[in-house]
Structure 1
């Protein structure tokens, strides 16, 4: 199929935009001059992609999305900040992904192979990893970091500057104002810890020994009565006692060292 047939005649694509010849653009979509889109990506109808936005390969954008619009931040003064989207993402209806701001790294990022459901909002300067799932209406305020394989259930709301660790699970309608360590399941308003995301770990191929080590680490952090600093020391010792899970426990301990809003605890 020729390039002209891949772009619907009602779509408006700026001549300066850089689209691979295999990119498809649906009816009434608008693509701005500073947009670059990689091979195999499909842009559905009524999608607006603007700003300095770079999109990788084999993404699927469903209808009515707003991608790369100005940050919803009064400090933004038109600086040439960016949005970067990786490969293989599924991005459903009515999502809003904003550019970064000069007050942070200047870029909002979404990694690879993420499943982003309808009405999801990624605010300015969010850094989302790969293989995550965002259910309908999950909302990230500015500067939020989300690790690989994390899951946000429907209507979960995350306060600005929060960090969510890899393999964490955020329950439906959760109001999150603190950081969530890797592997931990939280829910509620305000959010509270509910255990280890065991089902998610099983689905991703974690061994019984790994899961047992992560559960032991969770107990040290949440059920031992230790202070946070004491728990960090105990976790370092636990690495030696759980060789199968040593790397996972180390990742948990390192996350605690980077937490800036306190952890859900």
Structure 2
């Protein structure tokens, strides 16, 4: 049975799961769907056609599902879909999609959004990501699994970030970051592999293969896509293949410091 404060506003039509807790002065729209055992804190707002999975924690003054901050938005039907066990801290803002991006913003499972994070329209976010305080994602950003974005870091629209990548705090990212890599700076550039994250998630042999691949791609001075094609042709590791495919498919380019061929 849900525990809803008498001071909360839950519009007729909202679907509220078992064990949901809704604090005083919170608002839940008529089109919202709230999964079992999710908690919605005091003064939080769940707006629009928003689906929230099970066991999420939404803290005070978070705004989830309010209309996109896009001048092309004209009231069309759009959605925000959030998976299970996400933590959404104070004053975070999550927007739904727009007609130009398929109409859906989608967030996976087990993510942490710290205070004042903004996820704009049409973003796609995987599982187990961490967005530190005041990280901001513009529209159409795609983020893989296990990604960490440091505080005060803005990410340009249409940027893609691969699995287990890390973007340092107070950076400004305007190009794509391949999986397993670490980027830092304003503008952010590759600084190497996210070795701490890799060692926590991948076997040592795979990490060593990725170190060799990173050097071949970004430190040999060869044309980037030529190096990626050569590596992909001979790679056995799925992780190395994923890195090469990402490089070959990038639309915004990879931000790395060009070096002379060391042959």
* TM-score bin, normalised by smaller chain: over 0.9
For residues 113-152 of structure 1, the aligned pairs below 5 Å read: 113-152=110-149
Is the contact made by 2:232 and 2:245 (CA closer than 8 Å) also made in structure 1? no
Is the contact made by 1:12 and 1:28 (CA closer than 8 Å) also made in structure 2? yes
Is the contact made by 1:40 and 1:59 (CA closer than 8 Å) also made in structure 2? yes
For residues 92-241 of structure 1, the aligned pairs below 5 Å read: 92-204=89-201, 206-239=202-235
Aligned partner of 1:34 among 25, 31, 34: 31
Aligned partner of 1:253 among 229, 244, 250: 244
**CA distance, structure 1, for counterparts of residue 186 and residue 232 of structure 2:** 31
Is the contact made by 1:47 and 1:64 (CA closer than 8 Å) also made in structure 2? yes
Aligned partner of 1:66 among 45, 59, 63: 63
> Offset of 1:229 from its aligned partner?
2.0
Question: 4+ residue stretches of structure 1 with deviation over 2 A?
Answer: none
**CA distance, structure 1, for counterparts of residue 245 and residue 78 of structure 2:** 30
TM-align CA RMSD: 1.0
**5+ residue gaps, structure 1:** none
**CA distance, structure 1, for counterparts of residue 246 and residue 5 of structure 2:** 46
**5+ residue gaps, structure 2:** 257-263
Is the contact made by 2:229 and 2:248 (CA closer than 8 Å) also made in structure 1? no
**CA distance, structure 2, for counterparts of residue 234 and residue 156 of structure 1:** 34
Is the contact made by 1:220 and 1:234 (CA closer than 8 Å) also made in structure 2? no
Aligned partner of 2:19 among 19, 22, 38: 22
Give the aligned length: 256
- What secondary structure is seen at the aligned counterpart in 1 of 2:197? helix
**CA distance, structure 1, for counterparts of residue 87 and residue 123 of structure 2:** 18
**Aligned equivalent of 2:4:** 7
